[in-house]
Amino acid sequence: MKHTSPLTLGGIESTLATRALGRRIELRDRIDSTNREAMALGQADAEHGTLVLADSQTAGRGRLGREWFSPPGINLYASLVIRTTLNTQRLSQWLSWLPLMTALGTAEAIEAVGTARVGLKWPNDLLIGDRKVGGILCESGASIRSGPFQVIGIGINVNGDRADFPRGLRDAATSIRQETGQEVDRHRLLVRVLEELEECLEEFLVHGFERLALAYRRRCTTLGKTVKAVLADGHECVGIADGIGDDGSLTIIQEPARPGVPSEVRHLRAADITHLR
């Protein structure tokens, strides 16, 4: 594994033009999980935009207790503490859209450093072709003094080679460098992620979700595909992914169980999706 230039605060702060995101940075060489640390900081009243960044993670988290492969020297592992003062109705919409907005902003940032089209597998996997280049993990917490907050965690495979992934991930994962043949400056990419993300969050707060939803739908490669969805309770369903609802849910037209039985429409709030064809 060939390490690229180390992450430094100066390398980030010299070009960062955000208002809030990354204005406080906790940079670690090695950490268990940046999301775990950001949750702890949120509980200790850290301000909106606080960023935890690490060169490697020893217990990087995926969704549903899965692991995120997080070797040193080549990738980005970043988590942000997010606070809003929205009323209850808009807060619920915000919570639904936050993972999708994060995926959208991150995809735009990755493309901006020169990759081919980055697609989104609902809800928040970042794909180049059909391989995963990044993932998003959103969590929620609260502290007595500062109230509720969210943590958004972003993992991006940046400068690794195919051989740097464990065998089990080599066919399903990719990195920006694998796709472009070019090494990417991690500072430049991170700054772009923070800027794109801040724009998405502001767009939601000022105009609502509509334009974000349009941009998300355009990028979502799940739409139109036949997919298998595994629901939180373990149930599976197969059908055509037909749309993204205003609450960020995925509409699936389920294949009829038997010929002659009408197809059933389902709106999934959370599920694990496999693209079948």
Least spacing, CB of residue 49 vs ligand BT5, in Å: 16
Which of 251, 247, 248, 250 minimizes the C-alpha distance to 265? 251
Beta-ladder partners of 252 = 241, 266
Least spacing, CB of residue 135 vs ligand BT5, in Å: 2
146 contacts: CB under 8 Å, gap ≥ 6: 42, 45, 83
Which amino acid is it at 207? H
Tell me which residue has tokens 């949750």: 39
Least spacing, CB of residue 34 vs ligand BT5, in Å: 4
Interface with ligand BT5 (CB under 6 A): 33-35, 57, 60-64, 66-69, 77-79, 125, 132, 135-137, 153-155, 157, 169, 173
Closer residue to ligand BT5 (CB): 77 or 97: 77
Closer residue to ligand BT5 (CB): 234 or 259: 234
Strands 125-128 and 131-143, bridge-based pairing: antiparallel
Closer residue to ligand BT5 (CB): 24 or 69: 69
Tell me how far apart the alpha carbons of residues 197 and 187 are, in angstroms, rounded to a whole number.
15
Closer residue to ligand BT5 (CB): 11 or 123: 123
Least spacing, CB of residue 76 vs ligand BT5, in Å: 8
Alpha carbon 129 to its chain centroid, in Å, reads 17
Tell me how far apart the alpha carbons of residues 181 and 171 are, in angstroms, rounded to a whole number.
17
CB closest to ligand BT5, residue no: 135
Closer residue to ligand BT5 (CB): 157 or 222: 157
Least spacing, CB of residue 4 vs ligand BT5, in Å: 16
